Structure 1
Amino acid sequence: MKPFFNQPVGEVLQQFNVSPDQGLSSAEAKKKLEEAGPNQLASKKQKSIAVIFFEQFRSSMVVILLIAAAVSGVIGVMEGEGLTETFIILAILIVNAIIGVMEETKAQSSLDALNKMSAPRSKVLRDGEVTETVSTQLVPGDIVILDTGDIIPADMRLIEAVNLKIQESALTGESVPAEKSTEAID
């Protein structure tokens, strides 16, 4: 099967069994969302608290303090002074690691909340009506309506466009907007 950008608009609409005037039905969209999953990039797996904790011991200053604790312990045992200084240094390092874990998990949860608040929305034609939905709910075959200034919410095949120019600098580095048309690209 040829990529959608290589096919005429009519063929693409036929493959998705969608009308450009009606869009998908809500039931079809729900079914496709279950099949294809949400319209989002795969997110990185969250680190466990144990991994974050042990990452706190990777900085050069912490390594130096661990070496100092080991040297202090050896000298303390050899001279019979005990391990008090060693335990104090280790306690400080553990408290520092716990604080680091708390700060990192707090920062991650704040970032997650910010991402949820700023979820982009898209206008989509479903059941013959233009409705607004969260962009992660877009599915293959949706008819998306774009207006001036909109962010392109997904990989799409244009079916209708008038003087459309897209700012692609984030993808290509080119600062001049690229003209787009509905013609199949060979």
Structure 2
Amino acid sequence: MPKKTIKRFMPDHTKIRNHKHLKIFGSLVHEPNLWCLNRRSAAGAFAVGLFCAFIPIPFQMLLAAGMAIMFRVNLPLSVALVWLTNPITMPPIFYAVYRVGAWLLGNPPRHFAFEASWDWLVQSLESVGPAFMLGCIVCALTAALVGYFGISWLWRYSVARSWQKRKER
């Protein structure tokens, strides 16, 4: 059942609630709906976390926490899912996102070499930025929708299967 699997990997909510970086949200983190785990909160947390994972901004976890509070979905799960794009997975994922954006715009993908300079960043944003940003938005929305409906279906399926097993016993 997804609830048991997710709960096994989730940290203690009192530790997260008292985390120093969540102090900016004040008493909003004391909302009980942010800490319960049910089909609606898990599916919404997957949507929020996967959406924020594809948004190329610093502090994605704070964005995910803010959106989880705004939509009243499971906070720890939505923040944890942001780590889909971590320093190891970010380059291939964002390159794929750029390719999606270039395909949608009808542009051939450009080859570029990475340089750690401000000039390179500005020049790259002008040349590949529109395709990259469009790809980020499309992939974020797609991942959020697939995550929401996928977890919702999986949750319903596992509940129906457990009821069926209970009937058979």
**TM-score normalised per structure 1:** 0.25
**TM-score normalised per structure 2:** 0.27
Tell me which protein shows more strand as a share of its residues. 1
Tell me which protein shows more helix as a share of its residues. 2
